[in-house]
Amino acid sequence: MVDQLGRFAWYELLTTNMSAAAAFYGKVIGWAVEDASTPEFAYTLLTAGDAPAVGLMHLPEEGLRLGARPRWVGYIAVDDVDAKAVQIRRRGGAILVTPTASNIGRISVVADPQGATFALVSGLTYGQRQSSGLDEPGRVGWHELLAEDRNKIFPFYGELLGWQKAHAETGPADLYELFSAAGQTIGGMLTKLPSVSQPCWLYYFNVDDIGAAAKRVDAGGAGSSKVQSSCPTVAGSCDVPIPKGLYLRYREPGIRKALSDPPPRNSIGPRGGVMSLHRAN
């Protein structure tokens, strides 16, 4: 087991069709579906083995009225959500959902100073059984920030969460910045292309077989998938459109190649919601 403080500890999909989303992602990744609803609140757990992996909930009506689209949200575990929210505001970020009690713990949805959204959680109800391994099937194996300017945004996360640069020799001219939490490299940051409408976080989920997962995506009605070299830290990946404006990215790990070119135009869905997969070792 691993201390979750300062790490992504839970993930949720906000969707307009919970049952269809649960069926689609369950087939693609192999998650089992568990109803965790209350009389007041509809909530679905998708489990990997006997442990909850992610949650599904309805995209709030207020969000829909404001133009929000289905999207994945990553929750970072902290010891005091309220205090971190104050720090975020002082450092130029925004509080999108003020600290409040929820079915998964005390939470707040926030944005960094460049506009990328993420969430904070303390007293997490789910996800405590996650181990430190990043290659377990059905788990998140990588976190990636497409920033407005990755050089300028890194200090924000470093001061707020204690993240560190994984390679001390990385300089401002490098296109990709690996970062670590509690000594473990868990993701990377890069400056987004102009074609990407706004900064955002991407989350890569582990699968055993990229080719088989791509076929399941196609069979689920998401459109034709195409494997390509688009992620700067991996051997290959592919992005395919799926229902309700979300996108899927496949990731094949094992080869952490040096970055030579930024991701192509289609490396992120234009509507912000992205789900990513990579092969578990």
Region 123-144: mean pLDDT is: 77
Q: Compute the mean pLDDT over every residue in the chain, rounded to the nearest whole number.
A: 78
Half-sphere exposure of 37 (CA within 13 A, CB side): 13
How does 39-56 read in b/e, with b if 16+ C-beta sit within 10 Å?
eeeebbbbbbeebbbbbb
Question: Could you tell me the residue ranges of all domains in the chain?
Answer: 8-122, 140-279
- Model confidence over 50-87: pLDDT tens digits? 889 999 999 888 878 878 888 899 999 999 999 999 99
Does the pLDDT value for residue 250 go beyond 60?
Answer: no
Q: What's the rounded Cα separation, in Å, for the pair 70 and 234?
A: 26
Q: What is the CATH number of domain 140-279?
A: 3.10.180.10
Report in angstroms the alpha-carbon separations of 111 from 89, 114, 117, 199, 249: 9, 8, 4, 10, 23
pLDDT confidence of residue 231: 36
- Model confidence over 185-202: pLDDT tens digits? 999 999 999 988 899 999
More confident residue, 108 or 236: 108
Q: How far is CA 187 from the centre of its chain?
A: 10
Does the pLDDT value for residue 16 go beyond 60?
Answer: yes
User: Can 8-122 and 140-279 be said to share one CATH topology?
Assistant: yes
- Going by pLDDT thresholds of 50, 70 and 90, the confidence category of residue 246 is very low
Does the pLDDT value for residue 253 go beyond 50?
Answer: no
- Going by pLDDT thresholds of 50, 70 and 90, the confidence category of residue 242 is very low
**89-93, 125-129, 231-235, 240-244: least confidently modelled range:** 231-235
- Model confidence over 22-51: pLDDT tens digits? 998 898 899 999 999 999 999 999 999 888
Rounded to two decimals, what is the model's pTM?
Answer: 0.81
Q: What's the rounded Cα separation, in Å, for the pair 186 and 178?
A: 8
pLDDT confidence of residue 182: 87
Q: How far is CA 130 from the centre of its chain?
A: 16
- Going by pLDDT thresholds of 50, 70 and 90, the confidence category of residue 225 is very low
pLDDT confidence of residue 105: 95
pLDDT confidence of residue 167: 76
pLDDT confidence of residue 132: 52
Superfamily of domain 8-122: 2,3-Dihydroxybiphenyl 1,2-Dioxygenase, domain 1 (3.10.180.10)
- Model confidence over 260-272: pLDDT tens digits? 223 333 332 222 2
